[in-house]
């Protein structure tokens, strides 16, 4: 049976509405409750995507998850349970714990470009301390 253009459109719309009604998340943010960055990520989530924040050890349905955000050690256990996963955003610069999951269909992105000023301040402070304590 072949659907005409109008029927295909209606079927697609119906599927989109059913998916929108689902409680299954498409964006999974893995973090402790106290993580201050989760509100910012949630505010950027598309209104057409169901996004949830879960604790690293939470049991949650992951069949529809397309994007996960969190620290690599926590994501390592979640990634294999997400058959629709397309993008992993690490909250760390290092991704050693999850790099082996990268493929043509799964993009893994480390957090880069935000640590420079803090690292510079730390090093300069440490050098100043060492200089003062040597005197």
Q: What is the pLDDT of residue 22?
A: 54
Cα–Cα distance measured from residue 77 to residue 56, given in angstroms and rounded to the nearest whole number: 9
Q: What is the pLDDT of residue 75?
A: 96
Q: What is the pLDDT of residue 101?
A: 96
| Low pLDDT (below 70) residues in the chain | 1-23, 46
Which of 70-102 are b and which e, b meaning 16 or more Cβ less than 10 Å from the residue's Cβ? bbbebbeebbeebeebeebbbbbeebebbeebe
pTM of the model: 0.69
16-53 per-position pLDDT tens digit: 443 444 567 899 999 987 778 888 888 888 677 888 89
Task: Give me the architecture of the 24-134 domain, per CATH.
Answer: 3-Layer(aba) Sandwich (3.40)
Q: What is the pLDDT of residue 23?
A: 66
Q: What is the pLDDT of residue 13?
A: 46
């Amino acid at each position: 049976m072949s659907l005409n253009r109008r029927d295909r459109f209606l079927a697609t719309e119906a599927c989109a509405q059913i998916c929108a009604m689902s409680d299954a998340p498409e964006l999974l943010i893995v973090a402790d409750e106290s993580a201050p960055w989760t509100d910012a990520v949630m505010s950027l989530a598309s209104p057409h995507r169901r996004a949830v924040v879960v604790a690293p050890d939470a049991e949650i349905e992951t069949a529809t998850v397309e994007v996960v955000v969190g620290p690599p050690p926590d994501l390592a256990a979640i990634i294999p349970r997400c058959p629709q996963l397309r993008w992993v955003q690490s909250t760390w610069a290092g991704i050693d714990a999850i790099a082996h999951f990268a493929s043509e269909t799964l993009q893994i992105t480390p957090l880069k470009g935000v640590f420079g000023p803090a690292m510079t301040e730390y090093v300069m402070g440490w050098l100043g301390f060492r200089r003062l304590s040597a005197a």
